[in-house]
Amino acid sequence: MFSAKPQNKFGCSVGLVLLGWGLLGSTGCKNSGVTSALDANTRSDAAATGHDAGAVLVDSGNSGVDTSPPRPDSGPVTDVTAVRPDVVAAADSATSADGTSRPDSNSSLDVGATGRDADVGVDVGGLPLFSFFVTSLVALQQLSGSEHGFGGDLRFGQTGPGAGLRGADAICAAIAERSMPGAAAKQWRAFLSVVDDGNGQTVHAIDRIGEGPWYDRVGRLLAPTRADLLGVRPQNGHPAIQNDLPNEDGIPNHQPDPSEEPVDNHHMLTGSNEAGELQSAYSTCLDWTTRDGDPANGDPRCGFSWPRGAGSRGNDWKSGFSAPGCAAGVDLGGVPEPGDDFVGAGGGYGGFYCFALLP
């Protein structure tokens, strides 16, 4: 549960409680900034992430974030069957994209080259199918150690050339492992483009995620092939998730807590254009290595995890909006304001997409 009573956009007099991923925080006001106290050792239900629309949390500084990998003993893994029985029930009653009934979700499936034979199932390696998710706000808060999230700096303890992209991949793997033990071995890749991968090579997000198919946490098909990802919305997958891409627990991210109202959290960092390729040299927060909101560090390009407007500009999951800066910050109100310089401005929190090379 999240409750906020902001008196201004910098979070003065904000009361904050976050239950999930071991985060309990409280904020106050000091020099127009937000301070917090975090208990990273207490963890409860990762689905308890509802947020009051309009809440804005902005990190006015650029330090004090613990980017070390999570401790193995940091808490139990979320059981999605306990968190969202409605999601599991929907998956159990799912039908294939062509309208036919799917096979038993507990049986092994031949996913082949496309995975078109079912929307739900078990991967041939033994682990349940799980190869795509949107990073939830609560997951990023837990791993960053801040209610503001990572901002545009995704190094997560990695160093040297290419650290931003490698760190983002490690974040994906850490979140996947917490949701499903063993899932880190599926070789996770963040859907992010960079100017320089550390070897002088431009990397396009669409080229680093494999060939498909990809499935959400409860086994629903997102898309069979890479070509099916090139539309405004993913194609030929399960219709229940096409227009509201799910987080690491298989929960549609627009309403992470079903007991709360939906939140305006549609912007997802990609650094990419509508083809899933690098947008520009100024769209990646220095290749995901800075949370400094200075305009010189660029305006990170974002896609839409759920449709927000008319046409591709407000609908394309890959690209359609440039956040006004790379600073860390959360804005669930959806309306950018003059002077905003953080990744979540206009409806977001610096989330991004994670794909696995193995289904």
Name the least confident of 139-143, 179-183, 277-281, 330-334. Answer: 330-334
Contact between 205 and 271 (Cβ < 8 Å): yes
Q: Where are the alpha helices (DSSP H) in the chain?
A: 80-83, 85-92, 137-144, 163-179, 239-242, 285-288
In this predicted model, which residue has the larger pLDDT, 75 or 330? 330
Q: Following DSSP, what letter does each residue of 235-292 receive, concatenated?
A: -SS-HHHHTS-BBTTS-BTTSSSTTS------EEE--B-TTSSB--TTSSHHHHB---
**Chain CA centroid to CA 118, Å:** 25
Neighbours of 77 (CB within 10 A): 13
Is pLDDT at 60 greater than 90 in this prediction? no
User: Is residue 94 scored above 60 in pLDDT?
Assistant: no
CA angle 230, 162, 192 (to 5 degrees): 20
Contact at 8 Å (CB) between 279 and 271? yes
d(CA 319, CA 337): 21
Architecture per CATH, 81-359: Roll (3.10)
pLDDT in tens, 29-41: 222 222 222 233 3
What whole-number distance in Å separates Cα of residue 247 and Cα of residue 317?
A: 14
Burial class (CB in 10 A: 0-12, 13-18, 19+), 26: middle
Distances (CA, A) of 333 to 219, 267, 346, 349: 31, 12, 7, 11
Span 171-227, pLDDT tens digits: 999 999 999 999 999 999 999 999 999 999 999 999 999 999 999 999 999 999 999
Confidence of residue 125 (pLDDT cuts 50, 70, 90): low
Q: For residues 303 and 245, is the Cβ–Cβ distance under 8 A?
A: no
At position 105, the amino acid (one-letter code) is S
| CB count in 10 Å sphere of residue 18 | 24
Q: Name the token pair of 105.
A: 């979700």
Cα(156)–Cα(350) distance, integer angstroms: 14
Q: Which two tokens mark 76?
A: 């139990």
Is it the case that residue 115 has pLDDT exceeding 50?
no
**How far, in Å, CA of 52 to CA of 261, rounded?**
8
Contact (CB, 8 A) for 315 and 304: yes
What pTM was estimated for this model as a whole? 0.71
Token output for 244:
């509201």
Separation CA 7–CA 13 (nearest Å): 6
pLDDT of residue 16: 32
The C-alpha atoms of residue 184 and residue 176 are separated, in whole angstroms, by 6
Q: Note whether 247 and 87 are within 8 A (CB).
A: no
Q: Please give the Cα distance from 329 to 310 (Å, whole number).
A: 26
Q: Six-digit token pair at 344?
A: 């979540």
State the residue for tokens 């600073």.
327
